[in-house]
Amino acid sequence: MDDMRCLSTRLLSGQKIKGKGDAAAVLEWFHEQGVKTVVLSSTDLGTQEELVVLASSITNGSKEKFNAHIPRLPANFTGTGDLFAALLLAWSHHTNNNLKRSVEATLNTMQAILHRTLARAREEAGPGQPLTVRHLELKLVQSLEDIRSPASKVTASPLLS
């Protein structure tokens, strides 16, 4: 995707997202900077049980926005931002820049990998034992089929302006 940039929202925009209005302002700020596709991947706008993902794209002057809700998992994984960016870029190419389908495929792939990683981490650590960074290394090789063809569980909904 030409102008897609995976960015750290707060570092680049200088804006903290405390609510939906802040998130909308950040999406607009990035568009004003010339970024055509913006995805805020796991904002804290959800609940204790879920995260909210926001996506916005401008193509030929037409804007589309989506949101999706994903489960909040009880672990801190390393490398999820890099994986998210790589998957979004790959799915954007594969779907001819269809934002909704790209975000859904990215989120479904991520969820499968993270759930598998967490399950294996718990097995490796043993009952009642703390999970370490080593346990939580993303299980990418073991998730190859999910990367190639993720199950459709997460759906993105149009976000009204």
Which of 2, 22, 82, 146 is catalytic? The answer is 82
Domain span at residue 73?
9-158
The pTM assigned to this predicted structure is 0.88
Residue type, 45: L
List, for residues 70-95, the tens digit of each pLDDT value: 999 999 998 999 999 999 999 999 99
Active site residue 82: yes
At residue 6, the pLDDT reads 36
Say if 137 falls within a structural domain.
Answer: yes
List, for residues 27-75, the tens digit of each pLDDT value: 999 999 999 999 998 777 888 999 999 999 998 889 999 999 999 999 9
Say if 2 falls within a structural domain.
Answer: no
Say if 4 falls within a structural domain.
Answer: no
Among candidate residues 94, 65, 85, the one with its CA nearest the CA of residue 156: 65
Say if 3 falls within a structural domain.
Answer: no
Residue 30 to residue 14: CA distance in whole angstroms: 11
The total domain count for the chain is 1
Query: Angle, nearest 10°, between helix axes 99-125 and 80-94?
Result: 140
At residue 161, the pLDDT reads 57
The CATH number of the domain where 141 resides is what? 3.40.1190.20
